[in-house]
Structure 1
Amino acid sequence: MTSAEAAPPAGVGRRRAQPRPAVTLRRVLAAEWTKVTSLTSTPWVVVGTTGAASALAFGLGLFAGPGDAVTGTSLAASGNLLAQLGVLVLGVLVGSADFATGTSLTTFAAVPRRLPVLAAQVLVTAAVAALTGLAVLAASVLATAGARRGAGVSWDVADPGDLRAATGYVLFLTGAAVCGLALGALLRRPLAALTTGVVLFLLVEQVLAANPGRVTDTVRAFLPGSGTRLFADDTQLAALAGGDGPDLGAWGGGLVLGAWCAVLVLLAGYRLVRRDIT
């Protein structure tokens, strides 16, 4: 028998190599959604943020009474500090998870271009944070119903001012989560990213607010915490406009927060493309 006779026909006795599925944003998005929603920490962060923020709003509402300078909007959003912290944690966990757990090599071997992973994480984080914001808002409105009755104020989503504040509240928490994600992807260490986020959103804001003046009010206006203007009521916006800083209005504060999100995401993307992934 010759070697030609002994050799099997082409394709016989061997398995044809299956073509590798193309990497598309849709598939990467589905993978990141599965990854984020399957983490045990995700539901705990969402539930914990909702519970903590609404509990704080309820507790602060106990001190509100007739004649106090409170509105339905300010009562519903009074748990904002804990809500901010919760969504920052959510974003940081998503952004740093691959690097903290050592799965970054696997993730970026599957998606060599890398940036689609970051884009998918931004979209997934924004979606989860928006749902969390809606849950926090609904729970806080319910938790402060008694306080509003006692203070003689109302909150109605059909009212243009309350609708703007409700929309702004959800947008602000979504933006804070995206900033947390970008910090997690940029710094790649959960503790460092969360500490930086808390300093930017909470600590510096509170220190400057305690020392009003032209310089401090101007700096405050361009910090990411300026996004809280999105859900400030008319009285709070008027007080901010009467300060020494620039009058950005509600949506101007939202643009400042959006700019912070964009810059941090771009920095994270630059490091992801230009630097090592470990």
Structure 2
Amino acid sequence: MTAVAQGPVSERTAHGSPARTAPTGFRVLRAEWTKLTSVRSNAWLALGTVAVAAATAFGLGMFVGPEDGRSGSWVVTSGFVLAQVGFLVLGGLLGTSDYVTGTARSTFTTVPRRLPVLAAQVQVTLVAALTTALAALGASYLATAGARAGDAPALDLAVPGTSRALLGFVLASVAVSLLGVGLGALLRHPAATIVGGVVLILLGDQLLAANPGRVTDTIRAFLPSSGSRLVEDDAALAALDAATLGPRLGEWGGGAVVLAWVVVVLAAAAHRLARHDVR
């Protein structure tokens, strides 16, 4: 009897063919990027988000005059109120994609450590949201050019808080998308993710604002909707802080709040992913 030469277990399977190598971070990242770009509706969602931001800014800019006390930066960034829903959905769909399509088991069989998948989803969402936010800001600037040349205030970077508000539009949009991917990975259901996210970033704030008081204003201050403070100029922030009965968050406080939400939700999603069954 002759001996059959066999390679190391790490290099050969039972059938003698080379074993698959462990997935690298780059391969996982590329797979998640393929998932995002291969679904045509994601591109339409990004384009729709840009269009909503620009159309909202255009519509509101038509009714703004010098006597309203609004700044040129507010005219450009005013579309954030509705566009943030698009950013939320963009992140939420990516966070729930494996569970919706039924590929979760195969994905985490291929990547048994699991957490690299979530990390890749965060990176892909970051890039997609950043690109979409920059496009939305540029489209809003162009859409409001006529209004700013007429009765609406001009966009003057010398006005305190203007540059921060423009940067804040991009940062807040990215934060909302990352919150969406975290909620999606945690809840694993698109409807629950979108409804929960809309309540946190929009409806909860509006409901509490209708009943002002020390308790409700304090709760409002620590909702992720505080991230919208990033798109306000210094004058608007001063007016908000003067009117609140809760904590005064200042210029970057709202950004710190929404960042904390993103970190906590992603940590909770990572814990569930690492410690619980995938279905």
Q: TM-score, normalised by structure 2?
A: 0.92
Q: Equivalent residue for 2:10? A: none
Q: Aligned letter for 1:257?
A: V
SS of structure 1 residue aligned to 2:123 = helix
* Consecutive unaligned residues in structure 2, runs of 5 or more: 7-13
Q: Equivalent residue for 1:225? A: 225
CA RMSD, aligned part only?
2.0
Q: Aligned letter for 1:128?
A: A
SS of structure 2 residue aligned to 1:180 = helix
Larger radius of gyration: 1
Distance in 2 between residues matched to 1:8 and 1:265, nearest whole Å: 53
Distance in 1 between residues matched to 2:80 and 2:187, nearest whole Å: 25
Q: Equivalent residue for 1:273? A: 274
1:198 aligns with 2:211: no
1:161 aligns with 2:161: yes
Q: Equivalent residue for 1:95? A: 95
Distance in 1 between residues matched to 2:237 and 2:123, nearest whole Å: 30
SS of structure 2 residue aligned to 1:17 = coil
Q: Equivalent residue for 2:120? A: 120
Would you say the 8 A contact 1:28–1:120 is kept in 2? Answer: yes
Percent identity, aligned pairs only?
A: 54
Q: TM-score, normalised by structure 1?
A: 0.92
**Deviation sequence 1:160-194 (CA, Å, 0-9, x none):** 73221111111101010011111111111101110
Distance in 2 between residues matched to 1:220 and 1:151, nearest whole Å: 33
Distance in 2 between residues matched to 1:46 and 1:173, nearest whole Å: 12
Worse overlay, 22-31 or 88-97: 22-31
* Consecutive unaligned residues in structure 1, runs of 5 or more: none
Q: Equivalent residue for 2:213? A: 213
Worse overlay, 94-103 or 14-23: 14-23
Shift of the alpha carbon at 1:276?
1.4
Shift of the alpha carbon at 1:81?
2.0
Distance in 2 between residues matched to 1:18 and 1:160, nearest whole Å: 63
Distance in 1 between residues matched to 2:34 and 2:185, nearest whole Å: 18
Shift of the alpha carbon at 1:9?
6.0
CA distance 1:9–1:96, shift in 2 (3 Å): closer
1:253 aligns with 2:248: no
Aligned length: 272
Distance in 2 between residues matched to 1:144 and 1:246, nearest whole Å: 34
